[in-house]
Amino acid sequence: MTISLSEFQQRRARLLANCAPNSICIIAASSLVTRSNDTEYPFRQDSDFWYLTGFNEPNAFLVLSNKSMPNAEQATSASQHYSAVFVQASDENAEIWHGRRLGVAKAASKLGTDAAFDADEIDDLLVDLIDGHEHIYYSLDAEPRVDATITMALSECRNAPKQSKIAPSSVHDIQPVLHEMRLIKSEAEIEIMQRAADISAMAHVRAMLFSQAGKFEYQLEAELHHEFTMQGARYPAYGTIVGSGENACILHYTENADELRSGDLVLIDAGCELAGYAADITRTFPVDGHFSPVQKQLYQLVLDAQIAALACLKPGGTISSAMLACVRVVVEGLVELGILSGSIEANIEKETWRKYFMHGLGHWLGLDVHDVGIYKIDGKDRPLEIGMVMTVEPGLYIPASANVDDKYKGIGIRIEDDIVITAGGNHVMTSKVPKEIKQIEALMAK
Ligand code: GLY
Ligand code: MN
Ligand code: MN
């Protein structure tokens, strides 16, 4: 399950069409990051670079131009666009130690660009590539190494002897253009994301089946990661959260160190990364398979709130209107349970509920778990569009320190699904892991 070469080429053409005429774009790959001494974290490609190339090596650059290049006969005549990659050169010794490289000779045909060069030559070649363009686009958040490469090329182009070169006079951040594209997922992307969601759902089911008092949070984490890897998704998309008892009230709890206790709930927030794309699922379930009456009350409230939100998430709808519907259900429930007092409207207006539900409704999902794309246009929530993928994840967290009836203390619940906006509303991609109380109890009774 991959993205086709022609889709990568279409993305590059679309990016250039969205830039001003006579523009050059430079997109850099990630570098390896030291973990300790001479070992590195597993390599993770820069999401923008990955989106445009599907190429998973460090120290690479993609250069795109929408001006027909005077010195580049290679430019594809059909489009008048020019594309080049800079990649690590083949190196027998380095490849024996660190792994295979695509190499310069194969790069252009494999990645579908007009030209390929050795990444070690970028400092020299970039000056000529930039020459004659009016606009340059790159990530203004680029890491210092990349930023230095581009600013040096720009400076050399500006200071070329007797102004023999023409340096771009306007510098643009490439991120808004590229991230607007990434926000709307293609059919191929949705297919991969559906598989990532299915694998993650299987992992949650596996953890539910494994759960019992006396096991440790890290053992549930191991069950999840085992399932990810066995299904071909080698890495989690973010730090897995397994929080039992009051640990569920720590939103980004990743210690995953405690023993599961009978009678507690356990909150798992985990999703795999598949071909670069993230899934992001949270389920909360009883350690030993049975919700207590109080747990049922709070759990059903979060579930009802999530279902109310889901009903609003459709083309033309907004995240804030869904949040409002969700908050209304939460407030009505909390007032009924005596956790909040006063009128529904006053609680909504004063945002008293934020004490127990302190995060947003959800976020865009894609190559990044908190994916790119702006949420507001001119200060107003942007209307949802077909092909947007997002999470819907209300929660209630009542720490031991809360000023409420003791029976509610130490309970944290979140239910998180991933949805894609469709013509008919939305499709819940993560429905293969149960979330109804009866379904969870039935599964865990197995
Ligand atoms: N797993 C991070 C989040 O739910 O936003
Ligand atoms: Mn999330
Ligand atoms: Mn999550």
Residue 378 falls in which region: left (phi positive, over 0), alpha (psi -120 to 50) or beta: left
Ligand nearest to the Cα of 204, by number: 3
Under the banding of pLDDT at 50, 70 and 90, the label for residue 237 is: very high
| Full-model pTM | 0.95
Mean pLDDT score of the chain, rounded to an integer? Answer: 95
Asked if pLDDT for residue 81 goes beyond 70, the answer is yes
Minimum-distance ligand 1 atom for the alpha carbon of 363: 5
Structure tokens at 340: 């909040």
198 is catalytic: no
Which residue among 306, 393, 397, 415 is best mutated to probe the pocket of ligand 1, counting the most ligand atoms within 8 A of its Cβ? 393
CATH 3.90.230.10 range(s) for the chain read: 184-444
**Confidence class of residue 73 from pLDDT cuts 50, 70 and 90?**
low
**Among 238, 253, 397, 408, which one carries the catalytic annotation?**
397
Cα(118)–Cα(446) distance, integer angstroms: 57
Among candidate residues 149, 183, 263, 264, the one with its CA nearest the CA of residue 18: 183
Is the CATH number 3.90.230.10 carried by domain 184-444?
yes
Q: Which residue carries 């030993």 as its tokens?
A: 288
Kindly report which listed range (162-176, 219-233, 355-369, 422-436) carries the lowest average pLDDT score.
Answer: 162-176
**What is the spatial distance between Cα 257 and Cα 240, in angstroms, rounded to a whole number?**
12
Pick the atom of ligand 1 nearest to 241's CA. 1
> Per-residue confidence at 266, pLDDT binned at 50, 70, 90?
very high
Domain with CATH 3.40.350.10 in the chain: 5-182
**Separation of alpha carbons 97 and 91, rounded Å:** 10
Percent of the chain with pLDDT over 90: 94
Per-residue model confidence (pLDDT) at position 75? 53
Q: 80: pLDDT confidence band, cut at 50, 70 and 90?
A: confident
For 412-435, the pLDDT digits (tens) are: 999 999 999 999 999 999 999 999
pLDDT (0 to 100) of residue 233:
98
What's the gap in Å between 371 CA and the centre of ligand 2? 10
Q: Name the H helices within 337-413.
A: 344-350
* Amino acid identity for residue 386 in this structure: I
Kindly give the distance from the C-alpha atom of residue 114 to the centroid of ligand 3, in angstroms, as a whole number: 40
CATH 3.40.50.300 fits 5-182, yes or no: no
Question: pLDDT at position 416, please?
Answer: 98
